[in-house]
Amino acid sequence: MAELIDGKRISKEIKDELRAEAEKFKAEGKEATLAVILVGDDPASAVYVNNKKKACEYIGIKSLSYELPKETTESELLELIEKLNNDDNVKGILVQLPVPDHIDENKIIRSISPLKDVDGFHPLNVGALLIGEKGYVSCTPAGVIQLLKRSNVDIAGKECVVVGRSNIVGKPMGVLLLRENGTVTIAHSKTKDLKSICKRADILVVAVGKPKMINADYVKEGAVVIDVGIHRMDNGKLCGDVDFDSVEPHVSKITPVPGGVGPMTIAMLMDNCISSLR
């Protein structure tokens, strides 16, 4: 039986640490303010944004909410971001993605001051991560590192395989594992013989966006498996990129879906917000 890596418990632990830290900062007259911008009426995005605002409230971070109609123009959005960039009270700015098609996502990401880019998406923050300098780190991969560390999984010297090469998860995940002295392979849709590459992994992180793609044929006995995917199945239940029932009997530790990586993303966003005061 694999040990479950409990993202719900670990994210609560982190949020409670941050709440105590926020209180100390408040006593020194310092408060973090996060501006959250949502353009359009995508229901999933509305749920995510709401969860982020609730987490802010729990920790003691002030949140400013900008809910803009889907017709908002790119220049209107850029104007708002510029205003928030120049507002010293605002420590973090987050534009929920995806934005509507008529808005250039890359342009929006680049318009947020790197010093307020708590998502860690700005090219300057991505570059800082790559060369080991200080900067904001993308929340989901940062959350995976916390899950591993707080579950006493040593990364140094281990074979780490990341499946998926997105800018938000796969690529920064590889760099973070490397920073922890893992031996890292980033696999993707063009990788030849994905099964044998995944089977090498002591730590397998899956972020491919394909429901239950990774089954027992892809894992080494005793590996640690982290599932970043989340999908709603026809029966209404959630599943990950990993076929949990097939993989679980063969591994030492595994994240469930839901309750694994998901709650960590918001916890690490909150950590980025509080770190603006450190």
Smallest distance from ligand GUN to CB 193, Å:
31
SS percent in the chain: helix, strand, coil, step 5: 40, 15, 40
Q: Is 119 a catalytic site residue? A: yes
Q: Is 41 a catalytic site residue? A: no
Smallest distance from ligand GUN to CB 274, Å:
17
Contact at 8 Å (CB) between 265 and 8? no
Which entry of 15, 96, 117, 253 is annotated as an active-site residue?
A: 96
Which entry of 52, 91, 116, 253 is annotated as an active-site residue?
A: 52
Please identify, using beta-carbon distances, which residue of 42 and 154 lies nearer to ligand GUN. Answer: 42
CA distance 278 to 256: 33
Please identify, using beta-carbon distances, which residue of 68 and 197 lies nearer to ligand GUN. Answer: 68
Contact at 8 Å (CB) between 3 and 258? no
Structure tokens at 81: 């971001």
Q: Is 52 a catalytic site residue? A: yes
Residues that bind ligand GUN (CB under 6 A): 94-97, 119, 139, 265
CA dihedral 210, 214, 218, 222 (to 10 degrees): 140
Smallest distance from ligand GUN to CB 266, Å:
9
Closest residue to ligand GUN: CB criterion: 97
Q: What one-character-per-residue DSSP string does 74-99 give?
A: HHHHHHHHHHHHT-TT--EEEEPSPP
Smallest distance from ligand GUN to CB 203, Å:
22
Structure tokens at 223: 């590996």
Please identify, using beta-carbon distances, which residue of 139 and 208 lies nearer to ligand GUN. Answer: 139
Residues serving a catalytic function are 52, 96, 119
